[in-house]
Chain A
Amino acid sequence: MSEIVTRTLTGWGRTAPSSARVLISPTVEVIQQAVRDTAGQGRNQRGVIARGLGRSYGDPAQNAGGLVVDMTGLNRIHAIDADSGLAMVDAGISLDALMRAALPFGLWVPVLPGTRQVTVGGAIAADIHGKNHHTAGTFGDHVRSIDLVTADGSITTLTPDDELFWATVAGMGLTGIIVRATIALTHVESAYFVVDTDRTANLGELMALLTDGSDESYDYSAAWFDAISTGPKLGRAVLTRGRLARRDELPPKLRRTPLAFDAPQLLTAPNIFPNGLANRMIFGALSEAWYRKAPRQRRGEVQNLTSFYHPLDMIGEWNRAYGTRGFLQYQFVVPLDAQHAFHHIVEQIARSGHVSFLNVLKRFGAAGRAPLSFPQPGWTITVDFPIRTRGLGALCDRLDEQVLDAGGRLYLAKESRTAAATLARMYPRIDEWRKLRATVDPDGVFASDLSRRLELV
């Protein structure tokens, strides 16, 4: 049933903790009442924010001194229509659970991020993207309706014709609490991919492959790249691209159960992890090994979802490997023609002494409709930095300036340390979003550590 406990919360990066009262409830009415109660507290209220599975890296799903609604108990599937592909679900269901429920119907979640452990509500609030952004857009593009609890505790049903819909998509939970949504799933014949792999000697070779026109013929495309080697090996990469396999493309053994899905978890990282493992020696060795294990070139290989898309899922709670100090993820996008600036940023990261192993590079497609949506046509990378007290903040501040100068921006779902003024300049439509938000939540009932830190509201 419903209960309220006081918890110290962080994002996936395990940094900047704050304490809040957490409401755990599987009932929409209880959530509505909690919102009304918060609004009723008047001037000194600390607001309320929804929290999903806590995979955002920074602080959007925590609310110091206030209320946080844990949505993970609100996780039922109300309907899946095999013909139209429409799924009506509670906002607290994970993409993993939705995918598993939909596969037997020959239906596929159209946008999957780097982990399936995110809720539908979180996917909408961050307007997540995946390896197929350049062909399928963001998650918000596949949402047909949203049931939103607004600041007065009432529920409003929004569709893509409503401005508030697009303020809620990518709105980081600050327009209200999403309790239900209708998602348009896509039809597939199998849960496998046909994959082409290319290993490149450096960053330039990778970017050439991504701009020679070949990328458009792949639905899914992303690269792991080396962010530690400098010099001629800078940004050497393993590019994996593909599309979902037709049934007749599968080997006989898989053809019998083409929609079967298995996610083996080899181990769970223990909670006692010595600090300092995320260092140049270990990550350097890991990078070398990861690069070497990939084939120089391979065509038409059939891979399952875990191999092609979610290799990290094999290790549960992998963020513990970064120790108690935690880490931060730096993800940005710069326009396609900012190749030189992009190259320069990757170079600085490699030379900085801050080591990252979990690096992804992708070429984005068209931008979405939501004012705060992150993807825009261009180059995006994500790197994970273990928190070192010397110089990391300054490095990221310097990179921010270059991203800004190049006409790019940071991603609110990953962000944990930029300045409010910088963020505002990165999102030209932020004032449009702020006005819209203010009409539906004038008293600032919805608030988070993120919204306060970046002065979003």
Chain B
Amino acid sequence: MGQFVIDAVGNPQSLLLLGGTSDIALATAERYAAHRPLRVVLAARPSPRLDAAAERLRALGATVSTLPFDAADTAAHPEMIGKAFADGDIDITLVAFGLLGDQEKAWTDHATAIELAQVNYVGAVSVGVLLAAALQRQGHGTLVALSSAAAERARRSNFGYGATKAGMDAFYTGLTEALRPSGIKVAVIRPGFVRTKMTSGLKPAPLSVTPQQVAEVIVDAVAGGREQAWAPAQMRFVMAALRHLPRPIFRRLPV
């Protein structure tokens, strides 16, 4: 296949989804597939869900390939990223994988805690480094990193997850500056509570959004060259306020 380039209004022609079964990532791919012929690389652990996601995108007219990807297996990441870019330039790369898991086990069970950190933080840093190099080599591209409002201030009820997101958020925010001279754009997206399969079974927090709404935030942020975006937009001000609440008050909030 040829090599493709994003255009002046933010239409990409190729996508790489790391976390190819992520509801948010797929919603984003579906939005882009409606604008232009799209080539999508879905990187995830092989599963029926991955195949179903590929089929759904193909039904929308996209050209889809899948790539085995295990976020925790960082030693395999260099080869995986090499394969992802082998068929041509990638206009937009989405870092959209992550575990939520049982938040109490996240600090009481050793193996669970390690796995959470390994996948959500170490894995994110690993692909971040490799994507930065690949995008610089092709001379163009946008990196979208799915962080979380929890990265800005984690609560007692989700600090295991929140801490890992805080780490990857800081890394990708720093990468935004590091890549600026090369013309590579980074967008760090901070959704609040998103109603996805990852959060199914949990009670939705106030200001919750759907994957489609997060996808809209992503598409707008990329087209507008914005480096930070929240979903919903008000989350930015909610978190700004929450971040500065004194701890004795914060810990008593029913959130």
Contact = CB atoms under 8 A, between A and B. Distances in A.
B220 interface: yes
A452 B2 contact: yes
A453 B89 CA distance: 11
B183 A417 contact: no
A325 interface: yes
B220 A421 contact: no
Nearest to A66: B139
Contact of B139 (A18, A419, A453): A18
B5 A417 contact: no
B37 A64 contact: no
A19 B8 contact: no
B1 to A, nearest CB: 10
21 contacts: A8-B182, A8-B183, A15-B9, A19-B183, A20-B139, A64-B89, A65-B138, A66-B139, A325-B225, A387-B8, A387-B9, A392-B9, A393-B35, A397-B35, A417-B7, A417-B8, A418-B7, A419-B36, A452-B4, A452-B89, A453-B5
Interface in B1-40: 2-11, 13, 35-37
Contacts of B183: 8, 17-19
Contact of A389 (B10, B13, B89, B137): B10
Contact of A64 (B10, B36, B138): B138
B224 interface: yes
Contacts of B9: 15, 328, 387, 389, 392-393, 396, 416-417
Interface residues of B, number: 28
Contacts of A20: 139
Interface of A: 6, 8, 13, 15-20, 46, 58-59, 63-66, 324-326, 328, 387, 389-390, 392-393, 396-397, 416-421, 449, 452-453, 455
Q: What is the interface of chain B mostly: helix, strand, loop, or mixed?
A: loop
A17 to B, nearest CB: 4
A416 to B, nearest CB: 4
B77 interface: no
Nearest to A46: B139
Contacts of B10: 389, 393
B7 A453 contact: yes
A19 B7 contact: no
Given A8-B181, A8-B183, A419-B36, 14 more contacts: A15-B9, A18-B5, A18-B139, A18-B140, A19-B182, A64-B5, A64-B89, A65-B138, A328-B9, A387-B224, A389-B220, A420-B37, A452-B2, A453-B5
Nearest to A393: B9
B139 A417 contact: no
Interface of B: 2-11, 13, 35-37, 89, 136-140, 181-184, 220, 223-225
A420 B2 CA distance: 12
B37 A421 contact: yes
A19 B136 contact: yes
A15 B8 contact: yes
* Chain A to chain B: the 4 pairs with minimum beta-carbon distance, closest first: A65-B139, A64-B139, A8-B183, A416-B8
A56 to B, nearest CB: 12
B13 A453 contact: yes
A58 B8 contact: yes
A325 B223 CA distance: 9
B75 to A, nearest CB: 25
Nearest to B225: A325
B190 to A, nearest CB: 18
Contacts of B140: 16-19, 64-65, 449
